[in-house]
Structure 1
């Protein structure tokens, strides 16, 4: 469902490759975790997936469509939860959600039903008429998650989605991701939270300095590391040694 084929990306004015020849594939109906330190290339990779950046070289396929050649077809399939929450601050919550619904040409009855459903799950329904700038960090995160879910995406892309969520919202999001998986949807998210990756991911990839240093299941990773069961220790050692 998501495939990177020898993808490179450098930023203007820099010789440093933010993404340095990466290859990976995420199958339909999988929850895929993308791990790495700050500056490793996680957000750049996500921006390449959603079409906010163009690769210097290589190919990115989403649902069989090349993101460079068929950007609109890809964007119909995906939704996105950004890490940067300080956007659309002058809108109210409901204005933002209506904006998203209009972009995806959602039926008015369906949009109203889904806005109510997801905003109540995440406990922000009563705050939708407030300006987004008045929201707490956690409330903003919940609003963007609602916006990403409301049009029933085939591929859900999220950058640090659990950051700032309270315990209940974390559990609710996990349950929703499990439901999407059962429906054959694909979930790709970056995270620093190893316990969450271990809990819900079918597969992971670990990126360091723009390169994928591991891709596969957590069970396979532990086997490679002589059955060490502490993922945190394994991860820290990989960050030191690679």
Structure 2
């Protein structure tokens, strides 16, 4: 792995909100062309890590380098090479898909003509080009998600951060987006993939990093994590590592309450 280009380097990353220590000393080296499954329960520190990498959150201690440069000392040029699909994507619903995508593309430095051409073609591939001139307020959740994915990829970024990117997509679209991610990996793109759908993370990721209460509790491919004294699916391993063992009792209690008369 030493011959592979290091894209992200995180050293002793800590973050505190008030009295709560959200990140407790994260150390990570991320290499070019990897799909990283970055998982953890709510509040584990996943979103905080990603927002720090995106330059959206300050006030942390430790260091974060992207493309070999400390982002604290950067002039934000590195953001031109990054794409981001947030868990809850907000689009300007009064705009048409064309207006929105050409606007986002120009922010990333593309010409209007190039944005327009690429956006229309990408919407055709995803099967929604018929709505290119329609307002986003008329789009279904799945259609909006496709537009957000296109907006994150339009400028052909080197690093892609995906937070629950498959939300609202139908089965065929799921298959297509997963195949696109594989092909982007083959092109040397680095993908940070955060999701609660463990089956997808297990199948998609070259490397899985599991956070629990602000600390890394597992790091490796699925087989390596499984071989380190764990057994079962990634979902079962996740529950073991995060200490959540009450799902059987709680589900029984929930159903029992439903049957009360």
Query: Does residue 198 of the first structure (1) align with residue 220 of the second (2)?
Result: no
| Ranges in structure 1 where 5+ consecutive residues have no aligned partner | none
Give distance in 2, aligned partners of 1:115 and 1:133. 18
The question of 1:232 aligning with 2:235 is answered yes
Q: Measure how far apart 1:167 and its partner are.
A: 1.1
Q: Is the 8 A contact 2:115 2:154 kept in 1?
A: yes
Whether the 8 Å CA contact 1:158–1:190 is kept in 2: the answer is: yes
User: Is structure 2 residue 9 aligned with structure 1 residue 3?
Assistant: yes
How big is each residue's C-alpha offset from its partner over 1:49-104, in whole Å with a ceiling of 9 and x where there is no partner?
11111242011111112222114221021111111223423322221111111112
* Worse overlay, 200-209 or 116-125: 116-125
Q: CA deviation at 1:216?
A: 1.4
CA deviation after TM superposition for structure 1 residue 10, in Å: 2.1
Secondary structure class of the residue paired with 2:133 = coil
Alpha-carbon distance, 1:154 to partner: 0.8
**Structure 2 residue aligned with 1:57:** 61
Q: CA deviation at 1:109?
A: 4.6
Matched, 1:218 2:231: no
Taking structure 2 as the reference length, the TM-score comes to: 0.85
Contact kept? 1:203, 1:217, Cα under 8 Å: yes
| The structure with more radius of gyration | 2
- State the superposition RMSD in angstroms: 1.8
- Paired position in structure 2 for 1:67: 71
CA distance in 2, matches of 1:70, 1:80: 19
1:99 aligns with 2:103: yes
Q: Contact 2:102/2:112 (CA < 8 Å) preserved in 1?
A: no
Q: Which has the higher contact order (CA 8 A, sep 6+)?
A: 1
Match of 1:90 among 91, 94, 100: 94
What TM-score does the superposition give when structure 1 sets the normalisation length? 0.92
Q: CA deviation at 1:146?
A: 0.5
SS in 2 for 1:83: coil
Specify the alignment match of 2:36 in structure 1: 32
Q: Does 1:166 align with 2:173?
A: no
Q: For residues 86 and 210 of structure 2, what CA distance do their matches in structure 1 show?
A: 19
